[in-house]
Structure 1
């Protein structure tokens, strides 16, 4: 069955290019160029419609036709941004306005009104690539470019992101797309550029929500405990540290940066220096220099080497986020439409990762599931009925592969396997003296006797406690004894999300099957 064209069909709205109404002020040459772009967009729309029909007729060439049409639309919008009299910002507004109206009608599916609105809102949260080009050329993107300096230090950062750090940049972008609907609105409400959010995320954690530094910084945006507490982050009363929550962390980061921008003459570079090197130091350096900017030698040299590297690397990642095509950079396309995933059987994120498979991704869904559900460790045992944050794609894969069937059973077997059971006990062994020569053959019934001896050993009763071994985690112990991880943590006074335990520690096995 061909893939559903739901998301691309919503892009039919893009065929309605809105050009500047001030046409009378344009030269004939500019008017002709605007008209040519209009015709080009209309041709791309027609090509897109043909592709949708082909997909509906199960023609395998339809998807390629649709993708080519979307590329035409994106190229047209990029050209529109450079053409006097053509407004990509207005185009994007038209796209967003029409997306809600056309998303479900164009797909040919009948949905209740409230469900259709929710689906369209989800699509709008994950702006498709063809519209994203226009989004990043609007006033928000231009404002960021005007606020920073594109100098040799930033260029060196771009070089690093495009060479040895390219995999980290790609991972950061993919991780961000899954969390975008949680994080971007917090910066948007604060009037901060999205590119700045991405740059900080890429440099701080590569978009890994559970990242923790040796210095104690935690979460996707790496808040220190004391700083996070000032901006509303920390233990939420359940033992969970909200520094690991992408929405809460983005909200706190936006508030923090606006506070710094207010103190430091709206300088993004100095605000980033404060984010990395300490706000007290940044303010002292700024005031002591008489208000000079970060790149002034008298200011720059007063920050540690880590901060001098950090600032241009964040700006470089943000710059690539805004201008990927100029550098031959093609970010991965991510279907991140949010959807709840209700477990029909006990499971863990490890188990879901195995049974879902790769889908349309390179690395599968473990990182996305962990980022969207920061309260749970990957091997935490989750009871049936647990609702996880996921995407529509993940929900579909779960229903197909994880609820029942051979792959679901195989995934469960793999995550509950106990390596210690690979050791076979056959009874006591009699040591042989080094000079005893070749041992005599054992009695014919020795194996039978050994099995009988092993069978005679009574199965130990379920233990009331367990001593932690080196390298073990609480979720792994919970799976070994078929416990609920949360219940085991509460019984032993352990706090989420890390559930820190140490070798030699005794744990009460309350509510476990043994």
Structure 2
């Protein structure tokens, strides 16, 4: 090949290489653009599931708790990375109870493993709380079997209530709940709060474990039947020279079946292939984040402004019994992490949600909605809206939520007044009663929700405010 041909060949190769490099550079730029994170929705956009007019919980009459079915709540799963150890594997690796093989255990193993829908639903309900529970059990160095206890107690439903008035994930009865710091009032029930009740339940279980000399089966039986019951049965067995282990003690049927249910579930998780069961993968990540609140807030308004499904928000924060957080706290909310930018939206919503102050008013004989509104300096319409009332009828013994702006006390002017109840007797008229108490006729009518021309009834109760 002559020199001229070599020169032409070199030029061709050089041009080809340069074109290849140029195309490669363009592809890299395109790839970088594709991998840029997409910006989230604007905070002013309408967010699916937070329709402005939709209430956070079903419409309630005063003093009636909502009853949200867990099956109706869309609990989105958190994706599991292939390299992650899932939560169920963590539970399996932390088992440390002694073996228990009884007829009851075998019966529950057979039932649970043959009802795949039961297991599927159980773990779906457990997912929002399981990582949090596992973390706390691990921190305390307790057996991982305890993470499965809510499955036996409540099927992981924080709204569950039993016939014996036990409530929440861990099924505390009222007195035991109060004994472990779970406040129960008109606004809030800590037994239904999955966050507070988990700490309380593990405190109680640790106490029982120590009380019964480190025997977890006896401690769990005491959790179900009460420590007093177990102590009595142990004393009876000792007097008769009998064994005092869990299997040997004479216990009521419910308690005898209680621990086998837990152990059966443990065995299925431990050896799923033996029972022909496929267990779900639950991400080894927090499901929710705790965000602090500045004080009492309106949950309906918060739901409208945050990118959080209102039913899921209610489910995670089941301790709040009304559509506002409790005046005395806890001043926090559990916000799911699996929704796109949900925590960012929630923090923004906390800043934008008007802080409120609600007072609880117990209705007495003779009270009227207009009279109560006047005491607290609020409108009748505001009272009806706050309590979801369709009319002005109220009933003695019930409670009303009073929306207060700035102070939780009645208005200063009316707080100085003395409230009396007047029973209508023969010959009474609105005019004569107003003269008797030296109040204006229109005030008397307003306090009692009366209109011009209304006829008084014998023994009717009227409210009068005296200076």
Q: What TM-score does the superposition give when structure 1 sets the normalisation length? A: 0.45
* Greater relative contact order (CA < 8 Å, ≥ 6 in sequence): 2
Greater helix share, structure number: 1
